[in-house]
Amino acid sequence: MADYAVLGAGSWGTALALVLARSGHDVRLWAHDPDMARTMAATGYNPRHLTDIRLPETVRPTVDLAASVATATTVLVAVPSHAFATTMRALAPAIAADTPVVWATKGLDNAGGGLLHDVAAAALPDHPLAALSGPSFAGEVAHGLPTAIVLACQDRAVGNRLCADFHDERFRVYLSDDLIGVGLGGAVKNILAIATGIADGLGFGANARSGLVTRGLAEVRRLGAALGADDRTLTGLAGLGDLMLTCTDDQSRNRRMGLALGRGASIDTATAQIGAVVEGVRTATEVGGLARRLGVDMPICAAVESIITTGRSPMSAAEALMERRPGAEFDDRLS
């Protein structure tokens, strides 16, 4: 069995550590906060996330990043997107040669707005790299509810091994080689979840929600075409699958952020109520910048960005979307 270092003891990192432990792997779970790591080691429970689930003995909490990765056969990174680049740079001097690195982080690079696989490749040029993404709420994964997800890796032999490490009767993993599409789908869906939450918070109903999900997918596909993603990825688990999940279920932090904004709350108030990182708030600006640089029209994402960055009222942004000039449903560039 494999020896995994999981970097990030949030809900998603903890859930994936439990998946790996269920499959018989040894796991060192790294927490940035020393108090959190000590509490997990002493009690066997994560004090902030998935607090009702006892960690098995094969999941060993630690606060020493270098020691946790030094002998690992695989490293899994599950930190928030704003900490991704820093974590990758910290890995470089500590990780053994040729060790595969997988990330379950969803978002874009906080500094340059680029895709995470480019950040990882720059920091770890000699390591096999992979991204794990798809429709997966951490709580359901941790409790062993059936989940289907995708792992993108351009080295097929490494990808097959990693899929086998995660795959069991409750966690089904499909293999892809499209790091661009998998990364993009996981980033943009959070913005679109805020948009659908806003619409529901404003009381717009099921028709509006369905329209936002469908036209939101068109925006992701346009951006994917500009970046060279495989369009099939964006209609698969890491694209449409994750989009549907995040936009329609209140377990989604991003959807709950949108609901709060639509009901008149401020971003700060909503963030405090949610009590955790809401990736779409940060990613909205990063995706907006990327779309403008590439000349890609993403009106729904732009509306969310304007609400977040300029304080525009959700109703004003929604009205502006509905008043846009009529156009063709399908973009010939995607045919």
9 is in an annotated binding site: yes
DSSP 332: G
The total of structural domains in the chain comes to 2
Instruction: Give the pairing type, strands 59-62 and 26-30.
Output: parallel
What does the pLDDT read at residue 55?
Answer: 97
Tell me if 329 is assigned to some domain. Answer: no
Active site residues per annotation: 189
Q: How many helices (H) and strands (E) does the chain have?
A: 16, 8
Check whether 241 has a pLDDT greater than 80: yes
203 is in an annotated binding site: no
117 is in an annotated binding site: no
DSSP 134: S
257 and 223 in a single domain? The answer is yes
Picking from 143, 177, 211, the residue at the C-terminal end of a domain is 177
Mean pLDDT of 120-140: 97
24 and 148 in a single domain? The answer is yes
- Say what the pTM is: 0.95
CA distances from residue 176 to 112, 159, 234 in whole angstroms, order as listed: 26, 8, 12
| Range of the structural domain that residue 227 is part of | 180-323
Mean pLDDT of 281-300: 96
Tell me if 74 is assigned to some domain. Answer: yes
The CATH number of the domain holding residue 65 is: 3.40.50.720
Q: pLDDT band at residue 277, thresholds of 50, 70 and 90?
A: confident
183 is in an annotated binding site: no
Q: pLDDT band at residue 335, thresholds of 50, 70 and 90?
A: very low
104 and 203 in a single domain? The answer is no
Tell me if 303 is assigned to some domain. Answer: yes
197 is in an annotated binding site: no
Q: Please provide the DSSP assignment of 140-156 as one string.
A: HHHTT--EEEEEEESSH
150 and 10 in a single domain? The answer is yes
15 and 147 in a single domain? The answer is yes
136 is in an annotated binding site: yes
Q: Which residue has the higher pLDDT, 1 or 166?
A: 166
Encode 209-229: b = buried (16+ Cβ within 10 Å), e = exposed: bebbbeebbbbbbbbbbebeb
Tell me if 16 is assigned to some domain. Answer: yes
Mean pLDDT of 317-335: 82
pLDDT > 90 in the chain, percent: 94
What does the pLDDT read at residue 331?
Answer: 66
37 and 148 in a single domain? The answer is yes
What does the pLDDT read at residue 276?
Answer: 86
What pLDDT, in 10s, does the model give residues 23-70? Answer: 999 999 999 999 999 999 999 999 999 999 999 999 999 999 999 999
Picking from 133, 160, 177, the residue at the C-terminal end of a domain is 177
The CATH number of the domain holding residue 261 is: 1.10.1040.10
Tell me if 77 is assigned to some domain. Answer: yes
What pLDDT, in 10s, does the model give residues 187-197? Answer: 999 999 999 99
158 and 184 in a single domain? The answer is no
Check whether 290 has a pLDDT greater than 80: yes
Tell me if 212 is assigned to some domain. Answer: yes
165 and 220 in a single domain? The answer is no
Tell me if 302 is assigned to some domain. Answer: yes
279 is in an annotated binding site: yes
Q: Lowest-confidence range among 55-64, 180-189, 227-236, 322-331?
A: 322-331
Check whether 333 has a pLDDT greater than 80: no
69 and 186 in a single domain? The answer is no
Residue 168, class by beta-carbon neighbours within 10 Å (0-12 exposed, 13-18 middle, 19+ buried)? middle
298 and 149 in a single domain? The answer is no
Mean pLDDT of 173-189: 97
258 and 141 in a single domain? The answer is no
239 is in an annotated binding site: no
Check whether 279 has a pLDDT greater than 90: yes
What value does the mean pLDDT of the chain take?
95
What does the pLDDT read at residue 332?
Answer: 59
167 and 223 in a single domain? The answer is no
Tell me if 333 is assigned to some domain. Answer: no
Check whether 334 has a pLDDT greater than 70: no
Picking from 177, 205, 232, the residue at the C-terminal end of a domain is 177
